[in-house]
Amino acid sequence: MTVTRGFEPPSDRYAAGHRGVDLAGVPGQTVRSAGEGTVIFAGLVGGRPVVSVEHPGGMRTTYEPVAPTVVRGQVVSRGTPLGTLRPGHPNCPVTACLHWGLRTDDNVYLDPLTLLRPAQVRLLPLN
C-alpha cells in the first residue's frame, strides 16, 4: 500500500484540509471494509461513487471512488468487499487512488492509517 497523499486535519470543521488518506491502486481493484459495521451509504455524491460504513463505537469509514457491490443496511465484517476502485480521483499521481476517510459521530476527522497500526502500549512503574 502506497500513500499518495497523507492525512491533513482541518483546523476546524469548515477549514481546508485533507480529511483522509489517498492510497495508490489500480482500476477494478477490490476495496474491503476496514472493520465490522453497517453500510450507511452506497451511491453517488457529486457524481462520484462512495461507500460509507458505520462501525461500533461511533466511527465511520468512507471509501471513494468505489463502485459499490454492497447496499445500504448491509452488515459487513472486516475484509468484506465493498466495491471496486474507479479511476478519476483528483490529483492522483497513478491510474487510480482510493480516498479513505475516518471520522467520529461528532464529525472529528482522524487519520484512518491508525486503524492499521498496532496500539502503543505504555507501562508505568509500580510505586
pLDDT tens per residue across span 74-103: 999 999 999 999 997 878 889 999 999 999
Q: How far apart are CA 97 and CA 67, in angstroms?
A: 13
Residue 92, pLDDT score: 86
For residues 45-58, average pLDDT: 94
Q: What pTM did the predictor assign? A: 0.86
